[in-house]
């Protein structure tokens, strides 16, 4: 289960504080030292952790907190509020284009869960918007990726536009969009190629697709199990493509959770959805406040 280690450590730390009748500045500092270690151990980005600790400490050691009737509760509430804030405060939903189709481009490293997330998003859009999406298979490097998207398209009963592997992905996207215009699809989801790591060739291909597709959303799919690397990947893609949001996958696994807590603060871009399983209905809108409650128990 995600965040297990972090949750447990924070709860133990809070229990110690709750056990005290009176809370001193030194108690808060001691607690924050433990919180800091717990966050770093959970792979939260170093600068994010540092700023978080500083902010909580500044808010928590004031006399209106320490001299209140419930000091421990107040301090814990501050931790909860600041944790929510670094994750973006409130849920950020998908943007919609003023003319159909709304184009959503999915990008990410190989294995991050991009193709699966495309299927999940289709299901979400069908349920929430009664949408009639078209999927475009723009990963021309792995034939298996096209087959996988076709299979997913059948499962969610939407057409998948592909031209096999011998065509320039930019042209595939151009033709796919023409098809969507003709068929009046209201959403187009583009499944792009991934690599094992960020490289220039991939980034320039994605930039060219972006230029042609003029997407309303560029969603980066990131595997939460990759720890600190997930945040670096988000930074790299955002620098090159100016993404609009993130889908953080595999939160059902035993991820330590650092990516969920760092990505927004590091990139300024919201986590819009989290993936919580392999099935196509395992996609949830990301709510920072609920996530903070879940972590703090
Ligand atoms: P792509 O290479 O980025 O297109 O990745 P895929 O969509 O093929 O996913 C890679 C693997 O991760 C597959 O086995 C998926 O079933 C799995 N996967 C994707 N999202 C999730 C998730 O949220 N939770 C779990 N447990 N597995 C996932």
Q: Is the pLDDT of residue 27 over 70?
A: yes
- Of all residues in the chain, the percent with pLDDT exceeding 70 is 100
pLDDT above 70 for 213: yes
Q: What share of the chain is helix, strand, coil (3-state, %, to 5)?
A: 55, 15, 30
Asked whether 45 lines ligand 1 (CB < 6 A), one says: no
Give the number of the atom of ligand 1 that is nearest the alpha carbon of residue 108.
3
| Average pLDDT for 180-207 | 95
Please tell me if the CB atom of residue 236 comes closer than 6 angstroms to any atom of ligand 1. Answer: no
C-beta of 278 in contact with ligand 1 (< 6 A): yes
Establish whether residue 245 lines the binding site of ligand 1, counting it when its CB lies within 6 angstroms of any ligand atom.
no
Q: Which string of b and e fits 97-125 if b means at least 16 CB within 10 Å?
A: beebbbbbbbbbbbebbbbbbbbbbbbbb
Q: What is the ipTM of this complex?
A: 0.99
Whether residue 72 is preceded by a cis peptide bond, meaning omega within 30 degrees of 0, is no
Q: What is the mean pLDDT of residues 238-244?
A: 97
Model confidence at 117, pLDDT cuts 50, 70, 90, reads very high
**For residues 96-122, average pLDDT:** 97
For the ranges 118-122, 141-145, 147-151, 212-216, the lowest mean pLDDT is seen at 141-145
Q: Percent of the chain having pLDDT more than 90?
A: 86
> What is the distance in A from the centroid of ligand 1 to the CA of 288?
23
pLDDT band for 209, please (50, 70, 90 cuts): very high
Q: Which atom of ligand 1 is nearest to the CA of 275?
A: 23
Query: At residue 96, does pLDDT exceed 70?
Result: yes
- In ligand 1, the atom with minimum distance to the C-alpha of 191 is 4
Does residue 104 contact residue 188 with C-beta atoms inside 8 Å?
A: yes
Q: Is 151 in the pocket of ligand 1 (CB under 6 A)?
A: no
- Verify whether ligand 1 is closer than 6 Å to residue 281 (CB atom): no
Would the CB of 250 count as within 6 Å of ligand 1? yes
Calculate ∠ Cα 196-198-203, nearest 5°. Answer: 125
Q: Six-digit token pair at 34?
A: 């433990």
Q: What is the mean pLDDT of residues 164-177?
A: 96
Annotated binding-site residue? 110: yes
Region 230-234: mean pLDDT is 95
Q: What is the mean pLDDT of the chain?
A: 95
Q: How far is the CA of 181 from the centre of ligand 1 (A)?
A: 30
Ligand 1 pocket member 115 (CB < 6 A): yes
Q: How many CB atoms lie within 10 A of CB 37?
A: 13
pLDDT of residue 1: 63
Q: For 3-26, what is each residue's pLDDT tens digit?
A: 889 999 999 999 999 888 788 999
**Residue 151 — very low, low, confident or very high, per pLDDT cuts 50/70/90?**
very high
pTM for the model stands at: 0.96
Predicted pLDDT of residue 175: 98
Pocket test for ligand 1, best of 109, 113, 192 (most atoms within 8 A of CB): 113
Q: Is the CB of 111 under 6 A from ligand 1?
A: yes
User: Is the sign of the CA dihedral 271, 273, 276, 278 positive or negative?
Assistant: negative
- For the Cβ of 112 lying below 6 angstroms from any atom of ligand 1, the answer is yes
Residue nearest to atom 20 of ligand 1 (CA): 113
pLDDT (0 to 100) of residue 240: 96
Mean pLDDT over 110-134 rounds to: 97
How much is the average pLDDT of 160-188?
A: 97
Q: How far is the CA of 247 from the centre of ligand 1 (A)?
A: 12
**Residue located nearest, by CA, to atom 9 of ligand 1:** 113
């Amino acid at each position: 289960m995600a965040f297990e280690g972090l949750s447990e450590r924070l709860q133990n730390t809070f229990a110690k504080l709750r056990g005290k009748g009176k809370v001193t500045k030194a108690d808060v500092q001691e607690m924050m030292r433990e919180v800091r270690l717990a966050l770093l151990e959970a792979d939260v980005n170093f600068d994010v952790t540092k700023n978080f600790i500083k902010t909580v400490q500044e808010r928590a050691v004031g006399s209106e907190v320490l001299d209140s009737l419930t000091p421990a509760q107040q301090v814990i509430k501050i931790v909860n509020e600041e944790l929510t804030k670094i994750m973006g405060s409130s849920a950020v939903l998908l943007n919609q284009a003023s003319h159909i189709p709304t184009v959503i481009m999915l990008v990410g490293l190989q294995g991050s869960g991009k193709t699966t997330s495309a299927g999940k998003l289709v299901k979400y859009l069908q349920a929430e918007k009664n949408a009639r999406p078209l999927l475009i298979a723009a990963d021309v490097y792995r034939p298996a990726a096209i087959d996988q998207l076709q299979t997913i398209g059948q499962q969610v009963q939407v057409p998948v536009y592909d031209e096999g592997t011998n065509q320039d992905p930019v042209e595939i996207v151009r033709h796919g969009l023409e098809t969507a215009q003709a068929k009046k699809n209201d959403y187009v989801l583009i499944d792009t190629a991934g690599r094992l790591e960020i490289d220039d060739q991939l980034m320039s291909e994605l930039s060219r697709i972006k230029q042609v597709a003029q997407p309303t959303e560029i969603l980066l799919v990131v595997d939460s199990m990759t720890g600190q690397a997930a945040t670096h990947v988000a930074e790299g893609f955002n620098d090159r493509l100016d993404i609009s949001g993130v889908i953080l996958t595999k939160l059902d696994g035993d991820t330590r959770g650092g990516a969920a807590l760092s990505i927004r603060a590091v990139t300024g871009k919201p986590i819009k959805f989290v993936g919580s399983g392999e099935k196509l209905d395992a996609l949830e809108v990301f709510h920072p406040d609920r996530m903070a409650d879940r972590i703090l128990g």
